[in-house]
Amino acid sequence: MPIFEYKAYAAGGSIQKGVIDADTSREARTRLRKDNLLVKEIRELSGARNSAKPGKGSKRSWLQQRLRERQRSSGPSARNLDVLTAATRQMGTLLGSGIPLTETLKAMIEQAESRSVETMFREIRESVNQGTGLAEALSAHPYMFSELYVNMVRAGEATGNVDVVLRRLADYLQGQRTLRRKVVAALTYPALMIGIGMIVVSILMAVVVPKITTMLADMNQTLPAPTRILIIISDLFKNWWWAGLLAIAAVSTVFERIYRRSDKGRLWIDRTLLRLPILGDLLRKQAIARFTRTLATLLQSGVPAVQSLEITKTVVGNRVIADATDHIRQRILEGTDIATPLKATGVFPAVVGYMVNVGEQSGELEQMLDRIAGAYDEEIDIMTERLTSVLEPIMIVFLAVVVGYIVISIVLPILQIGQIGK
C-alpha cells in the first residue's frame, strides 16, 4: 500500500502536515476528509523513494545513498538509538499484553514523534499486512535496525517469544546508550578544554601578540630570544593559518579513508589506540563489555553461537577485538568450545577466559557473560572518573605553560627597556 505525504487545512484554518497510507490518493483524501481535514497538497512517498536512482542529474539521490551506506556501516546514530530504544520497549510491552502485531505497529505510528519514524513504521506495518515476517520487514530499514536487531527478532519469531526478545533488546540498547554516554562524557571535557585552549591561543597569536610585538620592534631594541621566537610563531599564525586548516583537513580525510577502506590500516589504528595509556585501557574495556553483553543477549534470544559471534564481530567497535571474535567463530566451526580460542587470542584478559570456561562447564554461559559485562561496566565508571581527574590538571598545566610563555615573552623586553632607562 502506498504512503502519501499531505498538507491539509484543519479546523480554524491552520495547516497540518503528516503521512497516511492508502491504496490511492483519492482514498487518502476521503479518509482525511472524514477527519475534518481539507487536503491542500498530497504526494506519494514510497514510489518516489523506490524510483530514485543515482546517476546523471540526480546528485541529491546519490548523496542520500552515500549517507545511508554510512549509516548502515556505523549503525544507528545517537538520536536514532534513543528513538529505537523507546520504540522497542513499547512494542515489547504491547505485544506482551496480548495486542496483535498490526495493532502494535499502528500504535507506534500514532506515537511517532517525527515524520521519518512515522513513515518507517507505516512501511513496516504494510509489509506485515502483506504477509512478510516482522524481522524481514525490519531488515528493509538497516539504518535503524541493525543485523543484530533483525536476527534477534527472527529468533523470537521462530520460538514465538517476540515480546520477550523485544524487551531483552530494549535492555540491551539501553545498556549501549549508557555505555556510549559514559565514554563520551569522559572524552568531552578534555576535548572541550583543547578546543577552547586552541581558540584562545590562536586569538592571542594572530591578533594580540602582533600588535604588541610591532610596538616593541619599533623601539629598535634587541629583543630577547623568547620574544623573537614568539614573533616567528605569531607570523606563522597570521600568515599561514589557512595552511594549518588545510593540513588538518587533509590528515582527517586520509585518516578516515584509511580507517574505513583499508583493513590493514584500520587494524593498525585500532591496535595503536588500545596501546595508549589510560585511554587505550578504557577503549579495551568498552569493547569487551560490548562483546560480552551482545553475545549474551544473542544467545539468550536463541541465536546459534556461530551466528551470534558473526553478528557480535560487527558491533564491538574495534578491529582487534573483531578479528579475535572471528577467530573464535572459526575455531567453534572446527568443534572446539568458546573459552579455549578466546584465551588463545591474547586480546581478552585472563579472567574473561576463565569466567567463560566456568560458564560453559556449568551450562550458564549467558548469565556468566552478563556478569562479565556488568563488571566491566563498573570498571568503565571508575576509568571515566580517573581519566577526567588525570586529564583535567594536565590540560590546565599545559594551557598555563602556553599562556605563561606568551606573557613572559611580552614582559621581558618591557623590563629590558625599563632597565636601560635607568
Tell me the pTM: 0.65
Does the pLDDT value for residue 13 go beyond 70? no
Q: What is the mean pLDDT of residues 165-177?
A: 85
Where would I find the H helices in 276-364?
279-300, 305-313, 319-333, 339-344, 350-362
CATH topology of domain 184-422: Receptor-associated Protein (1.20.81)
Cell numbers standing for residue 96: 506482551
Same CATH topology for 3-51 and 72-173: the answer is: no
CATH number of the 72-173 domain: 1.20.81.30
Residue type, 229: I
Q: Is the pLDDT of residue 49 over 70?
A: no
Q: Which sequence spans correspond to the domains of the chain? A: 3-51, 72-173, 184-422
Q: CA Rg, the chain, in Å?
A: 29
Q: Which CATH number does the domain 3-51 belong to among 3.10.20, 3.40.1130, 3.20.20, 3.40.50?
A: 3.10.20
- Comparing C-alpha atoms, which of 85, 245, 272, 62 is closest to residue 166? 85
- pLDDT score recorded for residue 396: 83
- List pLDDT tens digits, range 286-327: 889 889 988 888 888 888 888 889 888 888 888 899 999 999
Amino acid in position 349: P
Amino acid 393: pLDDT: 84
Q: Is 329 helix (H, G, I), strand (E, B) or coil?
A: helix
Going by pLDDT thresholds of 50, 70 and 90, the confidence category of residue 73 is: very low
What is the rounded average pLDDT for all residues in the chain?
80
Contact 91, 104 (CB under 8 A): yes
For the residues 397-412, what does the mean pLDDT come to? Answer: 84
Angle, alpha carbons 397-402-405 (nearest 5°) = 120
